[in-house]
Structure 1
Amino acid sequence: MKDGGGTLRAWLQASRFPSQSYLALPLLLGQAVAVYPRGGGLDVGTLVAVQLFGVLDQLFIVYANDRADLETDRRNQTATLFSGGSRVLVEGRLSPRALGLAAGVCAGALLALSVGLAVLRGAPLLVPLAVAALGLLWAYSYPPLRLSYRGGGELLQMVGVAGVLPLYGYVAQGGDPGRFPWALVVLLLPTHLACAIATALPDEPSDRESGKLTLPARVGGERAAWVIVLLNGLTVALAPWGLRVLGLSAGLGLLVPVVATLVVLLVRPAPPGSLRVQVRVAAAITATLATVALPLLALVRT
């Protein structure tokens, strides 16, 4: 175990930047919803600040989760690019103390950024939203709630990514909280829950051994895959209604999440540790990111 801060390569591994897409797209969508329907344009400074909020939030999440899940990750023999933590603590490339300190720095910077942005934009709601973003992770991984070990972790992820983040971006760009299109959140909730379940599929054996009550650990990977398909199907069914609120239509782009969801169903069996489970997870992530990207791209083109 390293006593110091570790190497740059170790920190890049710990940071898991590919997962930034989960946060960046909902934040961008919320900002686009705030300005484009009324014929405005994004404030560039605010855009940069909001996306920096997303970077800090993502780093806080991955650093804090790695520290909280160390014992479970040590048992994990089926980790993938999408799951099982960054492995820097398991491999001894960074110390828990260094990772915990980094998580604290990111949380402090996130709050400071939100306070400054709230003052500059006259949007005080940004501060409680930032606190909520941090609180969701704490409730997910740390006592006294530690809901990822009690069966509520996927729901917390869903609320944060599909609810808190779009609303943060919307308010930061001057959107009226009273006119926020909640139908869009209703549309996004099922697919983000599906994505949260999917990323737990490869970790099923170690999660079950550790008592971490993810849905795959409770019901098995194949049954969980059916839940993922049903949730994405619900999002597809809600899409015409949810997009209509923004003056958009579903269009052929909706075929992307549909096809990706069919891949989740057809790539089977997909036991943990197999290439098939990685394909299944990648397909579920694609379905969710495409669902967020479709209205975002449509708004930008208007």
Structure 2
Amino acid sequence: MTALRAWLQASRLPSQSYIALPLLLGQLAAVRLSGQPLDVGVLVGVQLFGVLDQLFIVYANDQADQETDRRNRTATLFSGGSRVLVEGRLSSRALGIAALCCAGGLLAVSVALAVTRGAPMLVLLALLAVALLWAYSYPPVRLSYRGGGELLQMVGVSGVLPLYGYVAQGGDLGGFPWWLVACLLPTHLGCAIATALPDEPSDRESRKLTLPARVGGERAAWVIVALNVLTLALAPLGLRAVGLRADAWLLLPALAAVGVVLVRPAPPGSRRILVRVAAAITATVAMVCLPLLGLAVR
């Protein structure tokens, strides 16, 4: 039971939503735009890809970031890794093997889907997902330490994942709703910045060039709000791309975004930082869920 609890801690299951929702959104967009029924078998396969992708990400990031995590005294539920290596609950080797197994699994699922659906692009997208994590966490690129980590997260979550789900459900690439992706890119970038807010001291000490480490948490909070304002400005175009209209429900992500700067100051290690990060995550999740629910009920 101790080992099982350690693996559950390492798996950081609440972060599954970051992966599952964009994949589901892409699938429902394909169904809506193509007029074809949802293939439940494909749905299960795509979401299994998402489960393996999320596990690959958290296991690999824990292994790659362990030295920085050991310096982290302000870790939260949202940041600072799972802490299993810091606490000695699992070995780096075990996490590395698990990450490789998950990478192999997500590629195998993608090959199976590509063959059954006649969509070889799914394999390319799966390889891209693996490459983005490698570029984020591992030498020689290791962009999370060079100032590009948040951008990689944005591209992966709001670009690669919806496209993967869309292609898997038979969506025509020429009809892909790019405006929906354009709408979601800024808020996902804001979310990536927000989850780095609590780690500002250890990131700066480790020379990990996240935006909070470079400009400070308070300035970064205003950047997060500005990015969400951009998403809200693009929302009518994004929603129209999948046959939906902007309505009063957009007040939900708007209010959540405002909460990012209302809670101030919010230094790392404080309770306020938890509220600030939660507000940013809520704004992003709400912006994904609004078109998702709109497509689901039609």
For the aligned pair, the TM-score class normalised by the smaller chain equals over 0.9
Q: Give the secondary-structure state (helix, strand or coil) at the position aligned to 1:143.
A: coil
- The one of 73, 79, 82 equivalent to 1:77 is 73
Is 2:296 the partner of 1:300?
yes
Paired position in structure 2 for 1:162: 158
Aligned-pair CA distance for 1:51: 0.4
Q: Is the 8 A contact 2:198 2:269 kept in 1?
A: yes
Aligned partners of 2:80 and 2:28: how far apart in 1? 33
The amino acid that maps onto 1:29 is L
Aligned-pair CA distance for 1:53: 0.4
Q: Is the 8 A contact 1:37 1:299 kept in 2?
A: no
For each residue in 1:12-38, what CA deviation from the matched residue of structure 2 results, as whole angstroms up to 9, or x when unmatched?
000000000001000000000000234
Q: How many residues align?
A: 298
Q: CA RMSD in A?
A: 1.0
* Dislocated runs of 4+, deviation >4 Å: none
Q: Structure 2, unaligned stretches of length 5 or more?
A: none
Q: Is the 8 A contact 1:36 1:300 kept in 2?
A: no
Q: Is the 8 A contact 2:145 2:209 kept in 1?
A: yes
Q: Give the secondary-structure state (helix, strand or coil) at the position aligned to 1:78.
A: coil
User: Could you state the TM-score of these two structures normalised by the residue count of structure 1?
Assistant: 0.97
Aligned partners of 2:242 and 2:124: how far apart in 1? 26
Paired position in structure 2 for 1:66: 62
Structure 2 counterparts to residues 236-275 of structure 1, below 5 A: 236-275=232-271
Percent identical across equivalent pairs? 78
Q: Is the 8 A contact 1:126 1:172 kept in 2?
A: yes
Q: Give the secondary-structure state (helix, strand or coil) at the position aligned to 2:83.
A: coil
Q: Structure 1, unaligned stretches of length 5 or more?
A: 1-5
- The one of 93, 115, 122 equivalent to 1:97 is 93
Aligned-pair CA distance for 1:41: 2.2
Q: Give the secondary-structure state (helix, strand or coil) at the position aligned to 1:7.
A: helix
Q: Is the 8 A contact 1:27 1:54 kept in 2?
A: yes
The amino acid that maps onto 1:126 is L
- The one of 124, 131, 154 equivalent to 2:127 is 131
Aligned partners of 1:169 and 1:292: how far apart in 2? 14
Is 2:140 the partner of 1:144?
yes
For each residue in 1:110-160, what CA deviation from the matched residue of structure 2 results, as whole angstroms up to 9, or x when unmatched?
101100110001110000000000000000000110000000000000000
The amino acid that maps onto 1:159 is V
Structure 2 counterparts to residues 195-234 of structure 1, below 5 A: 195-234=191-230
Paired position in structure 1 for 2:46: 50
